[in-house]
Each structure stands twice: as structure tokens, then as C-alpha cells.
Chain A
Amino acid sequence: MIHRGLLRYQGARYLWWALGVIAASVAVYLSQDSATQPPNGGTWQGYVLGTLGALLVAWLGLLAIRKRSYRSTAGTVQGWTSAHVYLGSALLIVATLHCGVQFGWNIHTFAYALMCIVIFSGFFGLYSYVRHPQLIASNREGGARSELFAELFELDQQTRVLAQRCAAGVAIAVGSSIERTTIGGGVSSQLFGNDRSFFIRGDGATSAVARNTDQQPVIDFVAARLPRAEKGAEAANLQQLIVFLCRRQTVLRRIRRDIRLRAWLKIWLYFHIPMTAALVIALVLHIVVTFMYW
């Protein structure tokens, strides 16, 4: 599995590369004579570290191309990703040493901040890739998401048919609860599993749209009808309906959890990728401006 192999690829070979880059950078940094000049990007050591950092950014960005080049034989994508993670982490140190921990309200610090966003979103992505796939698999119990939806659809059909045989109020409530079940939705709904499901809660003449969060209100509604059931057949139908509704509730919970986990698995990319593009532009600007106002 890719998330396991990422960090331990070939005995964490690129961890040692990254540590080597960091050690070399620290050595260059320490060679600055801070008694006469502060360590920053303007010393020759600063230029060396800056060049190293820029080359690292360029190479890290090349992962986007390498992972799309299926025919490429320049190392495995897994190896590239492993190196991407370790050398990307090293970049944080290289860039910090390059700037000598001097910050200000300027384009240079802005590029640094973008780099931090990219790297830390990458850290979050790494965490997600290590943690979430297992959670997703155990939630689905090995199946695909479409199987969960198939089960839901099957339950919907059965529930709908059974509801037709019940009293009008129950039929409307259950039917509407199926139609007005929401799954997923916008960004926050997917990330936090907001449930904006409704059902029509009615008693013959009057009816109202009511919240049906986690399907529990409709189950309670049907269950409340059970003691008042007149005929044995109606009671049996209602009981079976409750069983279906509860199974539906379970399936919906799994689907929502699946959506939530998948969203958290992917959300970091929506920061990592655009901010990388922004970082490359800001970095080019940083370099150009440095020589524009030499």
C-alpha cells in the first residue's frame, strides 16, 4: 500500500538524503561570520542556500509531471513521492536558514509563508494518507462505496413499498424521508457530515416539514404509531418498517462517514496544489525582485 511504503521506501533512503541536505545547509549557514554580518539571504552562503531551496522547489513541483507520465522510467512514482515528502520537509529548514529567520511584510516573506502553507498542507496530506485509508476500508468493510449505495437503494425500494401499505401519515412520512434524505453536499457538509435531511410529519389534515437528522426522528415517528396500531397486520408492517428504517440509518451513517473520510483524505490537495502554483510564481518574483532592487 502506497501510504505504508511512502515513508519506508527502500529503507527510508530519502530520509537520509534529506538529512544530508539539512546537514549541508546547516554547515553552510554556520560558516557565516555573524560577528560582522547577520546571516541572511544576502551573504554568499545565503545565495547558496537560496539556490538550493529554489532547485528543491522546482524538483518537488516536478512530481506533478512525473506522476502523470505513466510511461516514464525515471524512478517509480512511489520513490518520487517518498523523496518528495522527505526533501519537501528538508526545504523548510533550507529556506529558514536561507532567510536567517528574518521576516517582514514583503514579497520575500510572502513566498516563505506560501512555502509553509504548501509544506504543512503536505504534512497533513501525509497524515491523511497514513491514517484515513484504513479507516475508510474498515468503515466500508472492504466493499466499494457503490455497494453501500446499492444497499441503500434496495432498502429505499423495500421501505417505500412497505410504507404504501401503511396509513397515509406513515406513508407520507416515510416516503418523504427517503426523498428528502441528503447525503454529502457542499464542502463543509462533506467535511463535517452535516445532515440536512427532512421528512413530512403529518397527521391527516395537518403536515409540516420536520428535521430528520440521522433518520432518528422518522424512526421515532413510526415507532410512536406502533402502540396505536389497530390490526395485527398493520403492527407487523410498522415493525418491519422500523427494521428497514434502522438498517437504512446504519447504511446512511456509513455512507456519510465514508464521504467525510474521503473529503478529509483529499481536502489538503485543494491547498497543496494551488498554493504550490502560487509559490512558484511568488518564488520567481522573489528572485526577480531581489535582482531588480539589487
Chain B
Amino acid sequence: MEVLLRELREGPDGIPEYHDTQISAAVVTIGSAADQRLQLLGKSIAAHHASIRQSGSQLELTCRAGKVRVNGELQGSAKLVIGDVIEIGSHQLQLVQPPVGFDAALELRPDKNIDASAFEGAFRTDLLQTWMGKRPTAWMAIGLILIVGLALPLAAVMMHRADRAVPAMMPGDALWSSGPLSAAHRQAIGDRCNVCHQTLFQRVTNESCGSCHQSIHDHVRPEHLALTQLDRTQRCATCHREHNEPETYLVNSGDGECLACHQNSNHTFGSLDVAPVEGFGGAGHPEFKARLLKPHAPDANASTMLQWLAERASIDAAVEQSNLKFSHAQHLDTDRVRRGGDGEQLDCADCHRLQSNGEHFEPITMEANCSSCHELTFDPSAPDRQLPHGKPRDVVLTLQDYFTRKIIDPDAARATWDQRRLPASADSLQPCNASAFACAMRSALAETENQFTRHGCIGCHTVVDTQSKVLADRFQVVPIRLARDYFPAARFDHRSHESQGKLTGGAACLSCHKAADSRESSDLLLPPVATCESCHSDRPLAERVTTSCVTCHAFHPQGSKPNQDAN
């Protein structure tokens, strides 16, 4: 439509004059914004306030914001007729008779008193007028957080519990994780938090752990727990801290939890013999108690039929009862013993061979450790003949066989036999005029007695002379049992102790184990706690290596779980 806009303005000389403008547009927009066809200023005028368009033969006014007065009445929209006066803010707009060639004519009488502040209002000059808002942003952010951080993870929890798959893209309860799972748990559990976190707001229970870790012992075995006033042992999670970074901290190896119970054990441990411990490195650790084997003969008439009973004893007072006769001092004395081959002093490792676990040693046996020096020869003229070890009856039979054969063998050198050294047995040197068999038996008897009572077996073993008429049964050797693990509940790494400062090899061993002064096998060569504490401490100190309780002590008892023994 063609609209003539006649504007009453103040001319250059202050005289009001009309300005005519022709508008060719379908809609005449009215508002304070710069892009409006009819720009009217004022506080009460919106950027896009109203518009006038042709509707049939009439003009129609529509308000987009607020209302306008048409002929004095507030209206949101109106059909206009010639002569209508529209008040927008303080401006007046009148519909007048259009001249020829125009569809409509509008006469505008702007309010001359509109000041500059109204002009300013036409522009958006403050961030408040933009889309940015504090509250909408806040509500949106809060909504988003509650949905992503709470609602969706809760839904994932429900789905996990219902054993339904959670879509990969959905933010699940992994968002609640306070840190990465350790690798083994991640592999076994994945993102199914409910495997451990079974009840919301409840700490992870030992039962959750035990559902997988079925072979792990509780710290206190049930039969021991019954002797104490403790109602239960610790939560697994007291020491095993998941979601830690780095995951090497999965086990809390600090002493605090141990000392919480063991520092003052008298109150809680009932009849269990648990010594209180203050720490390590000061005077806080009790002396070591070794597990020793004690021989016990149930039948007094059969003193070599032994049972070995384990007993724990403080090492400062305990003695070994292995029944072996052995002097470490003698074996380390170069005036008396030198190694075969190079003639050097014997080294600890020549006999004590460390097992691959680094803690224990291969068992000491006659065959592996003694026989290379201590041959069981009995006849210098037959250095290749040795007595069988470990079977006294066979020793007698072997000697009888040997001498029988030797006497009746025409090729044997009798002279050598007669001149052999037979200590302490003067009559054996005398010629034998009896039958060959009787002579052989006499020689066998002499040598048997020599082996079991003077030289040979008696050197290392305790021998019981039963005075039996049957020579094969007369001498009984008391069995030997060497302890292999003095501290079954503790850990010790010999390998990491093979160097002690500048000491290596046997010297390093002797720095803890006082073997060079030990003349009796009853000597317990275990170092006292003070020896450990000369290098180790429970706190970082100069020239001390820090150790914690669990460095040596296993929290979980070794072996199979009691309730599984029945299976």
C-alpha cells in the first residue's frame, strides 16, 4: 500500500512545518528501534511496538508489545477509520483523508518534550537488554547438572540392579567415581559399581569383597577370635582403599591401623598371647618369637620314635633341639676346615642355598651339603666303599657283607687289612684264627661299634645303644629335624639383604647371624629384633630404612581358609 506520512516538525526557524514522506510497504512498523518505518522515541515505547496494515478497505492496527490508545481507549488492536487518533506513548498519530494516489495518510505529531534519555532507551546499551541473563543461565546449569549428575546416574544404578544393559552413551554412575578402579577390579567389574556399592549410603561391606575373594583369611581366625573380646575384625576397606590414585596405594600399608589394636592389646585379646607393640626402631617391638621344633618321644621305651612339636619361644632364651651335632664356628675356622677345590674358607652359601622365593633356603641334607666333605668311608683300603646314610640297620648289614666278602675273597690283600688303623680296639689288630665267617663278623662288629660310638655316625648324630643281641638292631640314631621356617607368619627377603653396606656374601650373612661364634647346634642363630632395628625404623630417620608392620608381617594368615578345609 502507498502511505503518505505527514510529520509535524519544528523547522529551521522554529516554525512548525510539515514533512511529507511517501511509504511504499505492506506494513508500516512503529517502534523505537532504528529499523522501524516509523521511529518513535520514549520510555513507554517498545522497540517493535505496533504495526499498521491494510485489511480489506480499512487499516488495521496491531500491537506487538503493550497497548495503545485509540480515540482515548486502550486497545491491543483496532480497525481504523478516517479521523481516528492513535496515542503511542506521548506521540499522536491521526488517520486522515488520503490524497489521490495514496491508500492512506497518517499525520504524526511527535512529542517535542521527549528528552535524550528516551533516545538512549531506543538502543540496547546495557547487557541487561541482551539475551544474556544470570537467572536463566543459572537455572539451565542447575537443571543440566541435576539431570546429568544425578538423574541419569541414578537411572543407570536402577538398570544395573535390574541387570539391564546401560547404553554406552548414557552418563552412568561412573560419573560418581572418585577415582579410577585398580586394574584388576576394572577388568573384573567394569562400570558395574553396584557389585561393591550394593546399598546407597552404606559403606562397602566385607561380604561384597568376600563374594569374589573367597580364599582370603580374615586377620583373626574364627577359633582365635572366640578367645578374644573382639566382636569382629576390620572392614576390608580399612586397609584396601579403592579409587586411589595411583592404584599402587590400593593397600594402606601404614602402621596406624595395626597399632590401633596392637598397641595396647591386653584389653581386647583375651587369652590370646599377643604382645603389645609400640612401633619399630625404638624399644617398641617385642623380641622375636621363633617357631621351633621340639622333639617329643611319646613312648619312653622307644626314645628314637619322635614326634616334632612346634612351639613359639622368644629367641633370646630359646635353643634349637634338632639333635644334630654341629659347630658353625668349626666349619668357618680356616685352620680346621677349608673348602675342597680352592682351599678357601667355607662360605655360608656353600651349604645354605637360597630358594627362588628369596626367603627360605633349600633343606640341609647329608647328601647335598655334608657328604662332599664327610664321606662315609670305613676302610682306607677301599676308598670307594661308603656306608649307606640314614639307615643304621643297613650300615650293620653293609659292614657284615663287606667283611665277609673281604675275608673270603682270595684276591683281597689280607696284610693290608691286618695293619689297618683300628683305633681304640686293640683286639681287632690281633690275627683272627677263627673261621672266616666268624672273623668277618668280628671285624664287622668292631667297625660297627667304631662307627656308632667313636668315629663316624657319632660325629654328627646322637646314638642310642639298645644293647640288643641282634647287632643290626643294637644302635638307634636319634632323628634330626632342622627347622625350615622360624617365622611362618612373617616375611623376610634374604636376597635384598645380601649386601649389608660394604659387606657382601658370607660376611653379610655373619653381620646378622652370629655363626662364627656358635659352637653348638643348640645355638639359635636368629638375629634379635635389635639387629633389624639397627638399620630399620618405622619412621623416616637418617641412616634408617623405613619399614611398616606389613613389610614383615602378613595381615592375612597364610594357608587355606578354615571353612574350606572340610571340602
**B-binding residues in A (CB < 8 A):** 33, 35-38, 40-42, 100, 102, 104-108, 110, 145-147, 149-154, 156, 161-162, 164-165, 179-187, 190, 255, 259, 262-263, 266-267, 269-270, 273-278, 281-282, 285, 289-294
> Which of A165, A262, A274, A290 is close to B138, meaning CB atoms less than 8 Å apart?
A274
Q: Which B345-395 residues have C-beta < 8 A from chain A?
A: none
Q: A146-B116, A165-B12, A278-B142 are in contact. Are A270 and B134 (CB under 8 A)?
A: yes
| Chain B residues within an 8 Å CB radius of A33 | 254
Contact of A274 among B126, B130, B137 (CB under 8 A): B137
Which residues on the A side are within 8 Å of B124 (C-beta)?
184-186, 190
Which residue from chain B places its CB closest to the CB of A269 in the assembled complex?
A: B134
Complex A-B: 25 CB contacts under 8 Å: A33-B254, A35-B254, A38-B245, A38-B246, A40-B245, A42-B243, A102-B245, A106-B175, A106-B178, A110-B145, A145-B120, A145-B125, A151-B116, A161-B12, A190-B124, A190-B130, A269-B134, A274-B138, A274-B140, A278-B138, A289-B149, A293-B178, A293-B193, A293-B200, A294-B201
> By the criterion CB–CB under 8 Å, are A102 and B179 in contact?
yes
A190 and B132 CA atoms in complex are apart in Å by: 12
Contact between B123 and A282, CB atoms less than 8 A apart? no
Supplied contacts A152-B116, A165-B12, A259-B126, 13 more A-B pairs, CB within 8 Å: A35-B546, A38-B246, A40-B178, A107-B176, A145-B125, A182-B123, A185-B123, A186-B130, A263-B127, A285-B145, A289-B149, A289-B176, A294-B197
Q: Specify which of B133, B141, B204, B243 lies most central, judged by the most chain A CB atoms within 10 Å of its CB.
A: B141
Whether the Cβ atoms of B548 and A267 lie closer than 8 Å is no
B126: chain A residues at CB < 8 Å are 184, 190, 259, 262-263, 266
Q: How big is chain B's contact interface, by range?
A: 35 or more
Which residues in A have their C-beta under 8 angstroms from that of B275?
Answer: none
Closest Cβ–Cβ distance, residue A258 to chain B (whole Å): 8
Closest chain-A Cβ to B81's Cβ sits at a distance in Å of: 30
Given known A-B contacts A40-B244, A281-B145, A146 and B178 have beta carbons under 8 A apart: no
Distance between Cα atoms of A290 and B119 in the complex (Å): 56
Using Cβ atoms and an 8 Å threshold, which residues of chain B touch A152?
A: 116, 119
State whether A180 touches B34 (Cβ < 8 A). Answer: yes
Please pick, from A106, A154, A181, the residue contacting B176 in the complex, using a CB distance under 8 A.
A106
A235, B246: Cα distance in complex, Å: 83
Query: What is the bound-complex CA distance between A186 and B256, given in angstroms?
Result: 62
Q: Contacts A161-B12, A179-B39, A293-B193 hold; do A37 and B252 have CB atoms under 8 A apart?
A: yes
Interface residue SS majority, chain A: helix
With contact pairs A149-B117, A293-B193, A294-B203 given, residues A187 and B245 touching in the complex (Cβ less than 8 Å): no
Q: Give Cα A159 to B380, complex, Å.
A: 141
Shortest distance in angstroms between A188's beta carbon and chain B's nearest beta carbon?
A: 9
Interface residues of B in 12-30 (CB under 8 A from A): 12
CB contact between B115 and one of A37, A150, A282 (< 8 Å): that residue: A150
B249 is an interface residue with CB less than 8 A from chain A: yes
Residues of chain A within 8 A (CB-CB) of B548 are 36
Q: Which residues of A contact B115 (CB under 8 A)?
A: 150, 153
Complex alpha-carbon distance, A183 and B11, angstroms: 27
A161, B175: Cβ atoms closer than 8 Å:
no
Q: Tell me, yes or no, whether B253 is within 8 Å of chain A by CB.
A: yes
Asked if A107 and B149 make an inter-chain contact with CB atoms under 8 angstroms apart, the answer reads yes
Cα distance A156–B120 when bound, in Å?
13
Contact A110-B149, Cβ < 8 Å, known A145-B125, A184-B123: yes
- A37 adjacent to B254 (CB under 8 Å): yes
B119 touches A281 (CB 8 A): no
In the bound complex, how far is the Cα of B149 from the Cα of A290, in angstroms?
A: 13
A152–B203 alpha-carbon span in the complex (Å): 70
Closest beta carbon of chain B to A209's beta carbon, Å: 12
Which listed residue (B116, B120, B149) contacts A285, Cβ 8 A?
Answer: B149
CA distance A164 to B15 in the complex (A): 14
Contact B127 A267 (CB under 8 A): yes
